[in-house]
Structure 1
């Protein structure tokens, strides 16, 4: 049984939004997951497709049938938060939090 994984780090989106999409593809085969991601309206889907393709290319066997490849694990972990300040009234600064996340996808044949 062959396994492979791929990660994307410091993606500029929240883990909540990433997990919402990753839950839909967990446990599915590669072809099914790819179709689901292509028709979802979320911005994170394009990044997840890249990570999924990278994990597929990390499998040693190049002549593998993509219908047999299954997504064993698809997780989004919290990354560092970028802190910025928005100027507000009377000289105050209002903090803006820009979250990041790390996406990891594990495949299994």
Structure 2
């Protein structure tokens, strides 16, 4: 392979039952960092989404290792994003027979190395 060739591996997790805005605040912290550093950051952050994101990042690293036979320390997170998925639509009963709509959001997490 030439030096100019881009090596890209990715991992996708779909239908995660957390809103995309809660995932994006974590992804902003790890975008552009090395994978080892990102996994350490995710290990010590106390958010519900951190274990899910760390699984996606480690899966992308594993995909890159099997696809390109590179050492684990040489990977950087070039792109990490959370796209909106479908919403679960529920109703909560309110006074006088009214129903209050509740949208339970889902997202898709994409990690590109």
Pairs within 5 Å for 1:20-99: 20-59=25-64, 60-62=67-69, 64-99=70-105
Which residue of structure 1 lines up, in the alignment, with residue 111 of structure 2? 105
C-alpha distance in 2 between matches for 1:52 and 1:103? 10
What's the TM-score once normalised by structure 2's chain length?
Answer: 0.88
Aligned residues: 106
Unaligned runs of 5+ in 1: none
1:66 Cα offset (Å)? 2.2
What's the TM-score once normalised by structure 1's chain length?
Answer: 0.91
More helix by share: 2
- RMSD (Å), alpha carbons: 1.1
Unaligned runs of 5+ in 2: 1-5
Moved over 4 A (4+): none
